[in-house]
Amino acid sequence: MGIVAALALCGAGVVEAQVDVEGPQLRGGIGYFGVGTQGLGISGFNTALKSNAYSTFSGSALSLGGGAMAVRGRWILGGEGETFLEKSGSGTNVQTKLSGGYWLANLGYVAFHTKKLLLYPLVGFGRGGLNFRVKPKTIPDFNTTLATPQQGASLDASGWLLNVALGADYLIAREEREGGPSWALGVRAGYMFAPTRPGWHLEEDKISGGPSARITGPYIRFQVGIGTLGTE
């Protein structure tokens, strides 16, 4: 009987400790703007460009974008969109441009927090792609364009994306406005996967034989925004 009582007391102590660890539930949200770099998987694409006497592009891109996330308890729900600053290249009597971007729906979990700091792992799923444009260095007039319509091309390669990252956000709150809107500084670092090979399209028509060109590789992004963080 004494053993049963002791076990009951131990069980009650464990439950009480679990409740104390969980404590009040987090509640808040952050909207942000970010700038960073994103790795690109374009080695095959660059090989095709080089074999056709075009200049090649670096394997990373400068990204600009923004998003928002909501915190409920330990869970984080959010979304974001990024666009890549356009890269310029050239070929024989032509100029080239490479751009792109993506959108993601994200799910995260708060691993550690204080009144002003959040640390969390994050996974995201979405879609994105790259756009490659070729046009003459000398832009023709209207009649010349009608007479020789093959004056350029716009090619797109898009596909599904999987994002795995770690994030940190720090809210700079005034003491007299604790719990209210605050400036938020953040950083995210992770890896973008492209689980499927994107197909190439000329305008809206699918074309065959294109090289691999994906948004895949490591990235880092620095963010600034406005948000709130409290408990309930």
**Does 143 map to a domain?**
yes
3-state secondary structure of 163: strand
**Does 218 map to a domain?**
yes
pLDDT band at 177 (very low <50, low <70, confident <90, very high): low
Higher pLDDT, 150 or 118: 118
The pLDDT of residue 116 is: 87
Among 7-11, 46-50, 176-180, 194-198, name the one with the lowest average pLDDT. 7-11
**Does 103 map to a domain?**
yes
The yes-or-no verdict on residue 75 having pLDDT over 90 is yes
CA-closest candidate to residue 165, choices 101, 89, 221:
221
pLDDT digits (tens, 9 = 90+) for 113-122: 988 899 999 9
| Average of per-residue pLDDT across 182-190 | 96
**Does 147 map to a domain?**
yes
Residue 176 CB burial class (10 angstroms; 0-12, 13-18, ≥19): exposed
| Average of per-residue pLDDT across 34-45 | 96
**Does 226 map to a domain?**
yes
**Does 18 map to a domain?**
no
| CB distance 82 to 90 below 8 Å | no
Q: Would you say the pTM of this structure is higher than 0.85?
A: no
| CB distance 39 to 213 below 8 Å | no
* Strands of the chain, DSSP E: 26-39, 60-72, 75-91, 94-109, 112-113, 117-136, 153-172, 182-193, 199-202, 205-207, 217-231
pLDDT band at 152 (very low <50, low <70, confident <90, very high): confident
The pLDDT of residue 139 is: 75
How many structural domains compose the chain? 1
**Does 7 map to a domain?**
no
The pLDDT of residue 225 is: 96
The yes-or-no verdict on residue 15 having pLDDT over 50 is no
Q: Where are the alpha helices (DSSP H) in the chain?
A: 2-22, 43-51, 142-147
CATH classification at residue 152: 2.40.160.20
**Does 16 map to a domain?**
no
The yes-or-no verdict on residue 179 having pLDDT over 60 is no
What percent of the chain lies above the pLDDT cut of 70?
84
CA distance 125 to 192: 10
pLDDT band at 12 (very low <50, low <70, confident <90, very high): very low
41 lies in which domain range?
25-231
What percent of the chain lies above the pLDDT cut of 90?
62
pLDDT digits (tens, 9 = 90+) for 79-96: 999 999 999 998 888 899
CA-closest candidate to residue 114, choices 66, 178, 37:
178
pLDDT digits (tens, 9 = 90+) for 195-205: 988 888 887 78
The pLDDT of residue 174 is: 54
The pLDDT of residue 231 is: 81
